[in-house]
Structure 1
Amino acid sequence: MHMDVIDLRDFYGRPLGQVARTLITRRIGEIWPDVRGLNVAGLGFATPYLSPFQGQAQRVIGLMPAQQGVLAWPANGRHLTCLVDEAEIPLPDESMDRVLLVHGLEGSEAVRSMMRQIWRVLAPGGRLLIVAPNRRGLWSRREGTPFGIGQPFSRSQLTQLMRENMFSPTRWETALYVPPIQWRPFLQSAGVWEQVGHALWTRFSGVIMVEAGKQIYAATPQPKRRLARRMRALSPAPIPQGMQTQHRQDES
């Protein structure tokens, strides 16, 4: 079940949400440091993390699931968001170079269909980046945040999900080690929490981030032996001598 778009907006408007956005955006920037000339799509509620790509990417759009709702983004200028069916993304085949999935996987009721749609719209050599709540982290246990809604994931579960939907993981990262508490000392020391967490508590991050590329399989050629056998089976065969005489009598 997707979290309502108004609740998502309100979360990112609060200090805790602003800290989460800063920490995750920093990690996304390390994974995708240069998107000049690329087409970037955000699926789920990814708009808080798309702003750094504006003015750098050739095209940036936000796709928001119908079950969640849609908000206009950005606040100024032409709106770049639209409401979509996650199982039928209205984009041409191989039209996106990067797809960022945030607050989309854990609430989806059609994960397989959504992943296949992402595979379809990604260009050859394109990359998918998933930001998912960590099953072992504190954030997945806090229902007051969007990371505590829906299904959290472990690294092995995400790996299996990639394999089942024709993606190959290329990079793993973690983020969000500060406790999900609206307490100023914690929020002010979020940077320290990140440094210590990356050094000591990587399994207990708030989110797991996996970058993946699409797998493209070539058609498997048919074995020559099997093909020759089928050709022989379809080749005309002579009528036996006794049957030839019977066949002429029947015709006369």
Structure 2
Amino acid sequence: MALDIVDLRAFYAGPLGQIARRAVGRAIIGLWPDCRRQRVVGLGFATPYLPLIGGEAERVIAFMPAAQGVVNWPSRGLSASALVEPTLLPLPTASVDRMLVVHALEETESPEDLLEEASRVLSPGGRLILVAPNRRGLWARMDTTPFGHGRPFSRSQLEKLMRGAMFSPENWAEALYVPPLRRALFLRSAPAWEKVGAGLSLPFAGVHVIDATKQFHRRAPLRATRRSFAFRPILLPQPSPSARQPHSVTKTPSSG
């Protein structure tokens, strides 16, 4: 069952959500330090992170899956959020420069179709940041956070999915090394956990953060050519029948 928008908002309003926003947001800013004059789309529940990168963008839109629900965003001014089907985005082909996908891939029934649709709306050379739960991390094992719902992924699984959708992963980062516990000790020491985990490249980070570029051309797979057989009549020479010779009657001499 997909997460509800009310639960997502409540999580990011709490202490663990604030830690997640800072840790994951730091990784996103490190990959995309400049989005000036870019058309940016957030897919899933990306609104906690869109203000970090969309300040000088040409346009920023927040698309939220129909199964999740939608809220008005931003809180002031005209709304830039919409309820969509993640595999059928209401955008023309090659109309977006950058896309941020958070709380979407792990919740969809078809990750391949979601990434294919993201590839469709991105312009050639456009960039995508994908935030997905790490199957080896503690955050994917506890359902007290949104990252503990849906399907977690390994790095090799994400790389295979992205290459299949015409994306070339360029940069990899991890975040959320701190255990997802609401105890004051872990909340206060979260920055130290992130610094040590990233410095030692520890394998139990809570999420993968991948920066990928859309490829210009898809390599055509080699497929065996199916032969079609046409049935044509073949005329073979037939021997002409010879005229039958009448049998000669031999008279035997009568005795007597």
Task: Name the TM tier (shorter chain).
Answer: 0.7 to 0.9
1:164 is displaced (CA, Å) by 1.6
User: Contact (CA 8 Å) 1:126, 1:214: kept in 2 or not?
Assistant: yes
User: Contact (CA 8 Å) 1:53, 1:60: kept in 2 or not?
Assistant: no
Residue aligning to 1:191: 191
Structure 1 residues 65, 183: CA separation in 2 closer, same or farther (over 3 Å shift)? same
1:173 is displaced (CA, Å) by 0.4
Residue aligning to 1:250: none
- In structure 2, list runs of 5 or more residues that go unmatched: 221-256
Residue aligning to 1:85: 85
How many residues are matched?
220
What amino acid maps onto 1:96 in structure 2?
A: V
1:219 is displaced (CA, Å) by 8.4
What amino acid maps onto 2:163 in structure 1?
A: R
Is 1:132 matched up with 2:132? Answer: yes
More helix by share: 1
Structure 1 residues 71, 218: CA separation in 2 closer, same or farther (over 3 Å shift)? closer
What amino acid maps onto 1:99 in structure 2?
A: M
Q: Distance in 1 between matches of 2:52 and 2:128?
A: 17
User: Contact (CA 8 Å) 2:33, 2:53: kept in 1 or not?
Assistant: no
Residue aligning to 1:121: 121
Structure 1 residues 218, 109: CA separation in 2 closer, same or farther (over 3 Å shift)? closer
1:113 is displaced (CA, Å) by 1.8
Alignment of 1:1-252 (within 5 A): 1-217=1-217
User: Contact (CA 8 Å) 2:32, 2:53: kept in 1 or not?
Assistant: no
Pick which of 49-58 and 116-125 moved more: 49-58
Q: Distance in 1 between matches of 2:12 and 2:185?
A: 19
Q: Distance in 2 between matches of 1:138 and 1:169?
A: 24
Q: Distance in 1 between matches of 2:133 and 2:67?
A: 19
User: Contact (CA 8 Å) 2:45, 2:64: kept in 1 or not?
Assistant: yes
- In structure 1, list runs of 5 or more residues that go unmatched: 221-252
Point out 4+ residue stretches in structure 1 off by more than 6 angstroms. Answer: none
Structure 1 residues 123, 198: CA separation in 2 closer, same or farther (over 3 Å shift)? same
TM value normalised by structure 1: 0.84
What amino acid maps onto 1:46 in structure 2?
A: A
User: Contact (CA 8 Å) 2:94, 2:120: kept in 1 or not?
Assistant: yes
User: Contact (CA 8 Å) 2:166, 2:218: kept in 1 or not?
Assistant: no
User: Contact (CA 8 Å) 1:134, 1:204: kept in 2 or not?
Assistant: yes
Alignment RMSD, CA only? Answer: 1.4
User: Contact (CA 8 Å) 2:43, 2:100: kept in 1 or not?
Assistant: yes
1:198 is displaced (CA, Å) by 1.1
Q: Distance in 1 between matches of 2:218 and 2:133?
A: 34
User: Contact (CA 8 Å) 1:176, 1:207: kept in 2 or not?
Assistant: yes
1:201 is displaced (CA, Å) by 4.8
Q: Distance in 2 between matches of 1:106 and 1:5?
A: 15
Q: Distance in 2 between matches of 1:218 and 1:7?
A: 39
User: Contact (CA 8 Å) 1:42, 1:100: kept in 2 or not?
Assistant: yes
The 3-state SS of whatever aligns with 2:82 is: strand
Over residues 200-248 of structure 1, what are the superposed CA-to-partner deviations in whole Å (9 max), with x where a residue is unaligned?
352110101111111232787xxxxxxxxxxxxxxxxxxxxxxxxxxxx
User: Contact (CA 8 Å) 1:2, 1:104: kept in 2 or not?
Assistant: no
Over residues 129-155 of structure 1, what are the superposed CA-to-partner deviations in whole Å (9 max), with x where a residue is unaligned?
100000000000110100000000110
1:94 is displaced (CA, Å) by 1.0
What amino acid maps onto 2:103 in structure 1?
A: H
Q: Distance in 2 between matches of 1:218 and 1:31?
A: 25
| % identity of equivalent residues | 53
Q: Distance in 1 between matches of 2:163 and 2:53?
A: 28
1:110 is displaced (CA, Å) by 2.5
If you compute each CA radius of gyration, which structure gives the higher value, 1 or 2? 2
Q: Distance in 2 between matches of 1:201 and 1:148?
A: 22
User: Contact (CA 8 Å) 2:12, 2:21: kept in 1 or not?
Assistant: yes
The 3-state SS of whatever aligns with 1:193 is: helix
